[in-house]
Each structure stands twice: as C-alpha cells, then as structure tokens.
C-alpha cells in the first residue's frame, strides 16, 4: 500500500518511529521499497556520492530530475521526495514553484524538500497541492555561508532561531522537517513542540524519524560523519568480488561450462 504524507503524520501521532533513506536509481529504489522503507529521498547528496562533485552546490535540476525519474520507476509503495537543488528556488518564489512542479509532473515525485525558512514558497506550494518537506540546522546548500559542515544550534541564539523557523515552517504548511547536525536536546525540544514529524540526521534519538544516505549506510563511502552508522561493509564486499572475478578471468576458470551456452 502506497505511503502518503498523512501516514507520516499518523506515525507521529502513534509515536511510531520511521526511516527515510536516499535513493538515486531504480534498482536501489526497488530493493529499499521491497524492504519496507516508507520514504525515499532523492537527495542532492547525489552530487557527491554519485556524480563526484565536491559539494551539493553544483548539482543541476536536470540531474536531479533524471535520477528522480529512475527512483519513481523502481519504487511502488514508498513516498518519493525530490530535493530542490541549489539555485532552483532561492532567487524567487516563481522559480521555486516552477521547479517544484517539475518534480511532480515530469519526474514522478510525490513531494519536494527545500532547505531553510522559505515561508512564502512553502505556503504557495502547499496551496498549489505540492507537499513540502523542510530542512533546518546544517543546510548543505549554504555551506559556504555557514563556514563549513558544522553542528548548528549550540548557542542560545542559534537554537532559538531554529525553533522559531521550525514552527514557522509547520505553520506555512510543511508536512515534515529534516533536522541535520543539531544537538540532540534541541532536536528533541523541536520534535516535542511540533505536530508534524521531524526526521533527524545527526540530531540524536529524539526525532520522529531518521534518515541516512544509502551509500553511507552500506559502507560504500570512504569517510563518513560521526552520526553515520555503517550497516554493511560494502567497500570490502565489492573489492573482494572484483578481485575474485579478475583472478578467475586470468586463470581461465570463468566462464566455465555452467556459465556457457551449448
């Protein structure tokens, strides 16, 4: 049965924690969907973990749409959220509206995510029927302004600003908010004050849901932040499989009769 934004609200009301994972291709989306992951985020982390950019800033709308289409073809039940990339909504509400519509109309997403307290845009999108997920705390698209990938909300001033922005995003119409790299007590405080779910990444256990980048979870990335837990050793598995293949090709044991046609 397809997951909707009302299901996420029901999860919070029942105090039922839920997972969100990133996906960027049809096969991964299908596997995660079959595993029961309720929310798939086509994140702008695509820039680094798939396309090889140094940050999320360079990834384009066309690249994001391309990969969102692939995820939409692979998943059947999960709620698919497309990440609005840098420069696709910051300049004007009109830009944001146009690009958000493209995620739903052209790529098959069910909702969009945007960073920061763009309240007018959230209101307009919600009124137009586009579900919006917010994102506060460490906002990677603003890394050049923030001075790097640093925990946000440690000072009283920063913490109060994040709390106010979270409440404002909820009032503007967001159906959920990602809290990234904020102190655990602050994330729990925000979670307790909102009626919509929070989804943490480096925000402690007090959020309603948790999200990780799939390549980090699978142990494919070389370096990961402190908040990442590796659930598999994908790098070693791939290296071992490739090494065995090389060896069997060299010694002539692959392909054998079992893997040949007659």
State yes or no: is 171 an active-site residue: no
Euclidean distance between CA atoms 88 and 68, whole angstroms? 15
Supply the DSSP symbol for 18. E
**Catalytic residue from among 106, 127, 180, 248:** 180
Rounded distance, CA 146 to CA 163, Å? 18
Sign of CA dihedral 121, 194, 177, 78: negative
Give percent helix, percent strand, percent coil of the chain, each to the nearest 5. 45, 15, 40
Q: How far is CA 99 from CA 4, 5, 96, 134, 246, in A?
A: 21, 20, 5, 16, 45
Tell me whether the omega of the peptide bond preceding residue 114 falls within 30 degrees of 0, making it cis: no
Catalytic residues: 180
């Amino acid at each position: 049965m397809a997951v909707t934004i009302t299901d996420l609200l029901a999860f919070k009301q029942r105090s039922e924690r839920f997972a969100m994972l990133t996906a960027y291709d049809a096969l991964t989306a299908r596997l995660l969907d079959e595993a029961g992951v309720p929310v798939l985020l086509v994140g702008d982390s695509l820039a680094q973990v798939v396309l090889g950019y140094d940050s999320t800033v360079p990834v384009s709308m066309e690249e994001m749409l391309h990969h969102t289409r692939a995820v939409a073809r692979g998943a059947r039940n999960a709620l698919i959220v497309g990440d609005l990339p840098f420069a696709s909504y910051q300049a004007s509400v009109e830009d944001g509206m146009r690009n958000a519509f493209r995620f739903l109309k052209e790529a098959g997403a069910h909702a969009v995510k945007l960073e920061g307290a763009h309240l007018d845009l959230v209101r307009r999108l919600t009124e137009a029927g586009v579900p919006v997920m917010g994102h506060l705390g460490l906002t990677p698209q603003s890394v050049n302004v923030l001075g790097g990938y640093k925990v946000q909300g440690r000072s009283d001033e920063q913490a109060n600003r994040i709390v106010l922005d979270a409440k404002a995003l909820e009032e503007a119409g967001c159906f959920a908010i990602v809290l990234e790299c904020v102190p655990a007590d602050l994330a729990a405080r925000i979670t307790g004050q909102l009626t919509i779910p929070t989804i943490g990444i480096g925000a402690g256990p007090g959020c309603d849901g948790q999200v990780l980048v799939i390549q980090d979870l699978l142990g494919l990335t070389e370096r990961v932040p402190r908040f990442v837990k590796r659930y598999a050793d994908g790098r070693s598995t791939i290296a071992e499989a490739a090494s065995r293949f090389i060896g069997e090709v060299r010694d002539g044991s692959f392909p054998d009769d079992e893997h040949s046609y007659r």
